[in-house]
Amino acid sequence: MQKENHTEKRIGIFDSGVGGLTILKPMVSLMPNEKFYYFGDTKNVPYGTKSPKEIAKIGVEAYKKLRKLGIKMLVIGCNTTSIYGIKAIKEIADVPIIELIHPGVLAVKECGCKNILLLATEATINSGSIQSLLKKEIDDVKVEGIATQDMVITVENGNSNNEEGKKVVHRYLDMVTIRPDSVLLSCTHFPALSKFIADYFNNKGIDVNIISPAEKCAEIAKEKLKEIGKLTEFGNLSIEYFCSGDLEKFTKSGNILLDDDLIIKNVKKL
């Protein structure tokens, strides 16, 4: 029997759209010899307003599409699916699955923050999962969770770096009642708006740590691949991009989030 060559198999990452690119970036920095598939499920964006059942179903479909292409690991580059889809995906998956909820909470814990402003999709906030985990893991923690769902479409429409992006951030942050020491971005679209978020608080004289699960998630993925003997030590980076909706829109909005070396040139339909 021929031995499987794991270095040819890829790490598959998916999200409802361009948000998961903020997870891809640290993955590439930490594992520059790997090959990746990135799938933006833009036909189904936004996930955050859908029912738990729908989110699970869409997550399973995304896994199946990537599995068919050939992956050695699945990274759920979406917090909403990390909550509502992980069980259903795990039931059928034959590769390791990496999620975002625990890495996010771990990152907050490590920074020693106690007054947390949690920004996420409607579905994520309504689940209460991250709020509960933060309270379980960190003594005397205060959490204010706000569903900032419109920020997803703002980023998806390519407005993360203009006045429109700033406006939507201000509209939501004007609702905050706590004085946060950190902002946990539990939606992968939101790091694209982090400058506006930091500036908003800085202008009020409030210094905040902006935290996302991305770096921790990449560390966990690398550790897992090492553990199972599938980390590629020598090889050339390769990323293939796919999306299920408008190819041009995905390319344009996605490239705002990516540095020149990772830009999307040839996205394919999946």
Residues that bind ligand DGL (CB under 6 A): 15-16, 19, 45-48, 78-80, 121, 124, 152, 187-189
Give yes or no: 113 in active site: no
CB 214, min distance to ligand DGL, A: 11
187 is catalytic: yes
- Min. distance of Cβ 215 from ligand DGL in angstroms? 15
Comparison of 129 and 232: residue with beta carbon closer to ligand DGL:
129
CB of 110 to ligand DGL, least distance (A): 20
Beta strands in 168-223 (DSSP E): 182-185, 209-211
Interacting residues of 4 by C-beta distance below 8 A, sequence separation 6+: none
Answer for the pair 23, 189: CB distance below 8 angstroms, yes or no. no
DSSP class of 45: -
Q: Which is nearer to ligand DGL, 119 or 231 (CB)?
A: 119
Catalytic residue among 78, 113, 217, 243: 78
If one counts every other C-beta atom within 10 angstroms of the C-beta of residue 143, the result is 20
Which among 113, 187, 217, 243 is annotated as catalytic? Answer: 187
For ligand DGL, the closer of residues 210 and 231 by Cβ is 210
Tokens found for residue 175: 């609702």
Q: Long-range contacts of range 260-267, CB-CB < 8 Å, 24 or more positions apart? A: 262/24, 262/25, 262/28, 266/241, 267/241, 267/242, 267/243
CB of residue 125 to ligand DGL, shortest distance in Å = 10
Q: What is the set of active-site residues?
A: 78, 187
